[in-house]
Structures are given as C-alpha cells and as structure tokens.
Amino acid sequence: MAGEPERTEKITINLGPVDLGRIDLLVQEGFFTTRTDFIRTAVRNQLATSERAIEQTVARRTLVLGTQHFSRRDLETLRDAGEQVHIRVLGLATVAEDVPPELATATIASVEVLGAFRASRAVKAALGPRIV
C-alpha cells in the first residue's frame, strides 16, 4: 500500500505568559527564527529523548510507524479475498477519496491511529463505531 506525502497538522497549545515571554526572548536573540521553530524543536527533542519508549510501544502494540494508505484497489482486493484489515498506525493513515462507505465497512474492521486519519466524511461516518 503506497505511501502518501506527509503533511503537517495544526495543533493549539496554551502557554503561560512567562513561558511565552521566554520563547519570545529566544526568538528575539536569534536562537530560533519563530515561535513555531522553537516549539517544533522542543517537540522533536522530547520525542528523541523518548525514542526508546516509543519504539518499544510500537512493537508491543504492532503499530505501523509512519504513513499507511489504502487505495480503492487495495480494499477491493481484500473484499474479493474475504478479508478485513485492522488499521493500526502511529503517524498518518489515509483511505483514498474514491472509496465508497460500503467498501470501507466491508474491509476495515477497526481503525486505531495515533496521529491523523484522513478519509472522506462518508467513510469516517460509516467507520465511526470502529474508530478507536
């Protein structure tokens, strides 16, 4: 199942005025180009520090690490074989826009995504009870 180019997700965080001021000071002093640059760097550093725990958890929970894409053809092949898939991803899972809800419900037994799950509104609605 072919991968899809990675896109970013927007998140919102709340910071106290002192922490925000400290970030702004570092930006003004040229240590970081923007607040976003600081936050991305901080997140990456924390993830690097936690890498061993993440790897162990991914292996224990049998998650796909990265991106997993399901095309209409992928799901039709599963349906024709009488099989279903459990989508378990740490990263990005996508279902092609041309997949009808009936095909999705016939072939996708469950969805567990730590990150982002992208599919049409109709497919997400049909899979609603199966999404963890």
Overall average pLDDT of the 73-97 stretch: 95
Q: Is the pLDDT of residue 30 over 90?
A: yes
- 94 to each of 14, 72, 78, 97, 99, how far by Cα in Å? 29, 11, 16, 9, 11
CB 77, CB 53: distance < 8 Å? no
Confidence of residue 120 (pLDDT cuts 50, 70, 90): very high
Q: Kindly tell me the number of DSSP H helices and DSSP E strands found in the chain.
A: 6, 3
Averaged pLDDT, 89-116: 96
CA pair distance 103, 108, nearest whole angstrom: 8
The stretch 49-77 carries a mean pLDDT of 90
pLDDT of amino acid 2: 44
Report pLDDT for 35: 96
pLDDT tops 50 at residue 18: yes
Closest CA to 8 of 122, 123, 118: 118
Residue-level pLDDT at 57 = 84
The mean pLDDT of the chain is: 92
Which tops the pLDDT comparison, 10 or 102? Answer: 102
Query: What band does 6 get if pLDDT is binned at 50, 70 and 90?
Result: low
CA–CA dist 40, 13 (Å, integer): 12
Q: Which pTM value belongs to this model? A: 0.68
Which pLDDT belongs to residue 4? 45
Position 1 pLDDT exceeds 60: no
